[in-house]
Amino acid sequence: MIKKYKGYIFDLDGTIYRSDKLIPNADKVIEKLKSLGKKIIFISNKTTGSVQEYYEFLRSKNIDINENDIITSTTVIIKYLTGNHPGALFYAIGEELFVKELTNSGLVFSTDPKKIQIVIVTLDRTLNYNKLEIAAKALENGARFYAANIDDTCPVEGGEITDAGSIITALEKRTHKKLEKHFGKPSKYMIDEIRKRLNLDLGECLIVGDRLETDIAMGNKFNIDSALVSTGVTNYLNGKFKPTYRINSVYDLIEGN
């Protein structure tokens, strides 16, 4: 695999690290690929950390990267919103950092369902009934319905927690409104940003991740080879999406080379 591809698209949580622990030898994998002149990008659907925080965390684990090597769904949705809805009033089911990053980009946070123009859903560990009702009423009043990501669960040490996908389903059933757009994996918006930064034909790249419905789905959707690792949230019973390779961990990419 290291001879076949010029670019590597790595998922982060569950692939390069899990919680605050690096997947064994993940740093050696990145070092080896960089020494061979391969292009590398890291992508994440998580919105609970900024690009700078992910960068600092990876650097602390001896992974030699630049901030521009990291793309999150927050990065992608901000780019879309500032280009298509500049200054819009939004409400987010999301954590404080996510809301702050959107307001720093010029969007305006509102909790008034009559004024909210866009409802955005993402991972929110502070989710409560009041947040769901504000979002639901805004949608019923005609607000746009977007999501930063559509993951049903998020991997954590010892298991998983509820993520955006489950919240989206609840709001769709509550309001009879359908999600209009999402901006993380496996969306076109995410792949366009990846293509721009790698500056490679995607047929020369390999996606490496732990989730069939996001990482492998993106590979299938855009005809990119993919490798499914078993270090994160892997559902082998889901037969809808097919990886090109199944490997134990990222270390299998270079083991023996």
Determine the distance from the C-alpha atom of residue 43 to the mean position of all C-alpha atoms in its chain, rounded to a whole number: 6
What CATH number does the domain containing 39 carry?
3.40.50.1000
Q: Which of 182, 200, 233 is the last residue of a domain?
A: 182
* The pLDDT value given to residue 152: 85
- Could you give phi then psi for residue 187, rounded to 5 degrees? -75, 160
* The pLDDT value given to residue 234: 60
Within a domain: 70? no
* The pLDDT value given to residue 203: 94
* The pLDDT value given to residue 30: 96
* The pLDDT value given to residue 154: 75
Q: In terms of Cα–Cα distance, which of 144, 136, 196 is closest to 170?
A: 136
Helices of type H across the chain: 26-35, 51-60, 73-84, 96-104, 129-140, 164-175, 188-198, 217-221
Based on the fold, state whether residues 136 and 118 are members of the same structural domain: yes
* The pLDDT value given to residue 19: 81
Based on the fold, state whether residues 170 and 93 are members of the same structural domain: yes
Range of the domain at 139: 84-182
For the chain, the domain total comes to 2
* The pLDDT value given to residue 237: 55
Within a domain: 64? no
Tokens of 12: 């982060």
Within a domain: 16? yes
Per residue in 194-231, is it b (16+ CB within 10 Å) or e — as a string? bbebbebebeebbbbbbbbbbbbbbbbebebbbbbbeb
Consecutive 10-residue averages of pLDDT for the chain (257 residues): 92 91 95 96 94 96 95 97 97 97 97 98 95 98 97 74 90 97 97 96 96 94 96 69 95 84
Within a domain: 133? yes
* The pLDDT value given to residue 236: 58
Tokens of 99: 């809301």
* The pLDDT value given to residue 57: 96
This model's pTM is above 0.75: yes
Within a domain: 20? yes
Based on the fold, state whether residues 234 and 198 are members of the same structural domain: yes
Within a domain: 53? no
Question: Residues 6 or more apart from 162 whose CB is under 8 A from it?
Answer: 127, 152, 153, 154
Distance between CA 253 and CA 257 in Å, rounded? 9
* The pLDDT value given to residue 232: 83
Based on the fold, state whether residues 227 and 177 are members of the same structural domain: no
Within a domain: 168? yes
Based on the fold, state whether residues 177 and 200 are members of the same structural domain: no
Determine the distance from the C-alpha atom of residue 254 to the mean position of all C-alpha atoms in its chain, rounded to a whole number: 25
